[in-house]
């Protein structure tokens, strides 16, 4: 019995220092639940999620706009440009197209349409192909347009009266030319009487003559006073 008691006392004395050291260390600290610091600078900008509100964002790429097929333009070929329309004081109207080189002009007629073909001419600027909306003027011409064609540039006239336009070719400087198309007066007015018409459209012939023949009032000129 004494022998067993001595063994137990020896083991207890051996474990006493280890137990005392564990008590001095205490329990392990719990992990901190505080959130980590947010990155700053460029790193924060990269990690920032995209916003949900509307507006412009530098990360958005612009939408691609469809571009039509570009036409190849021969720099040595004739080019038609500057289509225009004008009302004249006598009630007639004119169309014109400039060409930088002389070309033959062919005329084709169809019901309600007359086409002038500038053989071999090209249209370099697409803005010249916009429609000339002449339906708002007192003219038998409803609309006109310069458009490209395999045979050359075409000046297409759409008529609202059964009239026959006439054309002339005017030689310009340095080998250029102008196609001028003349249209007669319309059979009736297409502009309402209460509508303000540009270029004297809607006025009678006598009214136009009175406006153009009326003398202008002299402008009042203030004479300088005597010098002090």
Domain with residue 116: its CATH number is 2.60.40.3500
For the four alpha carbons of 73, 76, 77 and 78, in that order, the dihedral sign comes to positive
The reply to whether 20 falls in a domain is: no
Question: Can you tell me the mean pLDDT for 147-161?
Answer: 94
* Burial of 76 per CB tally in 10 Å (0-12, 13-18, 19+): exposed
The reply to whether 180 falls in a domain is: yes
Has residue 92 got a pLDDT over 90? yes
Alpha carbon distance 143, 187 (integer Å): 17
Question: Can you tell me the mean pLDDT for 91-95?
Answer: 95
Alpha carbon distance 133, 143 (integer Å): 5
The reply to whether 145 falls in a domain is: yes
The reply to whether 170 falls in a domain is: yes
Cα 14–chain centre separation: 95
Residue 97: which domain range? 80-190
The reply to whether 149 falls in a domain is: yes
Alpha carbon distance 201, 211 (integer Å): 13
Tokens of residue 106, six digits:
């062919």
The reply to whether 165 falls in a domain is: yes
* Share above pLDDT 90 across residues of the chain, in percent, rounded to a whole number: 47
Over residues 18-70, the pLDDT tens digits come to 555 555 555 556 555 555 565 565 555 556 665 555 565 666 666 776 565 66
Tally of domains in the chain: 1
In the DSSP assignment, the letter for residue 122 is B
């Amino acid at each position: 019995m004494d022998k067993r008691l001595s063994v137990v006392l020896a083991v207890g004395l051996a474990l006493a220092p280890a137990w005392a050291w564990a008590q001095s260390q205490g329990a392990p600290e719990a992990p901190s639940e505080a959130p980590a610091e947010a990155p700053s600078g460029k790193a924060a900008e990269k990690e920032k999620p995209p916003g949900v509100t509307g507006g412009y964002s530098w990360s958005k790429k612009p939408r691609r706009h469809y571009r039509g097929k570009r036409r190849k333009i021969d720099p040595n070929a004739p080019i038609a440009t500057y289509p225009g329309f004008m009302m004249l004081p006598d009630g007639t109207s004119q169309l014109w197209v400039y060409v930088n080189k002389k070309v033959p002009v062919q005329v084709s007629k169809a019901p309600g349409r007359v086409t002038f073909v500038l053989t071999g001419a090209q249209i370099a600027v697409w803005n010249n192909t916009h429609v000339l909306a002449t339906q708002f003027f007192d003219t038998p011409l409803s609309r006109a347009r310069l458009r490209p064609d395999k045979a050359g540039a075409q000046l297409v006239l759409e008529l609202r009266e059964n009239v026959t336009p006439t054309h002339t070719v005017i030689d310009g400087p340095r080998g250029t030319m102008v196609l001028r198309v003349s249209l007669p007066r319309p059979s009736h007015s297409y502009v309402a009487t209460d509508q303000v018409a540009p270029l004297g459209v809607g006025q009678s012939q006598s009214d136009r003559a009175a406006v153009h023949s009326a003398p202008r009032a002299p402008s009042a000129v203030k004479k300088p006073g005597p010098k002090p």
